Amino acid sequence: MARARTETEDPVVIKKYANRRLYNTQKSAYVTLENLAEMVRDGVDFVVRDAKSGEDITRAVLTQIIFEEEAKGHTMLPANFLRQLIRLYGDSLQGVVPGYLEASMETFLRNQEKLRESVTSAFGVNPALANFEALTRTNMEIYENAMRMFRPFGGQHPEEARDATPDAKPAGGAKDVDLEELKSQLKAMQDQLNTLSKDG
C-alpha cells in the first residue's frame, strides 16, 4: 500500500557513483533500480544525484527504471506512442507536452479506482472475458481514444495525413496546432475519461 508523503518530509537522496552503483543516504545502504521502483510504488519521494558533480539525474534514472520494466515484458508503452513522443522532441510543442502528459496522468489516477471497478464489474458479469486478451483490448481502446484526441490531424496519423494530400506542401505537422486547440483536445480527453468513470 502506498505511503502518503507529508509536506515537510524531504525526498530521500540517492547518490549514483561512477560504477553505476546507487546509494541510499537515508538507509546508508546500496540499492538497485528495483529497490527504487518499489520506493516509487510505495509513494516514497526521492532524488538521484551524481555522487561527483551533485547534478540531479532523477529523470534519467526513472527513465532507466521504465526501460528495465519494459524489458521484463511489463509493457505499457506502445511503439506507436513512443514514435509520436520521439517526433515531438525539438518541436515547437515540446514545452507543452510534459504538462499535457502530466495532466492526463493525473486525470487517469483520479479515476483509476472507478475504472478498475468498471472493468471488474464487466468481467464479473461475463467471466469468460476475464483474460489477458480482453484486458489488452480494453487498454488499447482507451489508449486509441486518448491518442485520437491528441493527434493534430483529426485522428489521422501525420503520415496518413500527408499521404492523403500528396500535392499539398507539408504543413509542418504538429507545429501548426495552436495552443488553444491543444487545450480543447485536453479538455475533450478529460471529459471522455470522466464519462468512462461515470459509466461504472
Are 20 and 66 contained in the same domain? Answer: yes
| Boundaries of domain holding 44 | 12-71
What pLDDT, in 10s, does the model give residues 52-71? 999 999 999 999 999 998 88
DSSP per-residue codes, 23-74:
EETTTTEEE-HHHHHHHHHTT--EEEEETTT--B-HHHHHHHHHHHHHHTT-
189 contacts: CB under 8 Å, gap ≥ 6: 104, 107, 146, 149, 150
Q: Tell whether 27 is covered by a domain.
A: yes
Are 67 and 156 contained in the same domain? Answer: no
Q: Tell whether 125 is covered by a domain.
A: yes
Domain-terminating residue out of 71, 105, 122: 71
Question: So what's the pLDDT on residue 28?
Answer: 96
Question: So what's the pLDDT on residue 108?
Answer: 80
Domain-terminating residue out of 48, 71, 94: 71
Confidence of residue 161 (pLDDT cuts 50, 70, 90): very low
Residue with cell 546507487: 22
Q: Tell whether 140 is covered by a domain.
A: yes
Are 21 and 108 contained in the same domain? Answer: no
What pLDDT, in 10s, does the model give residues 115-143? 777 767 766 555 544 555 555 566 666 66
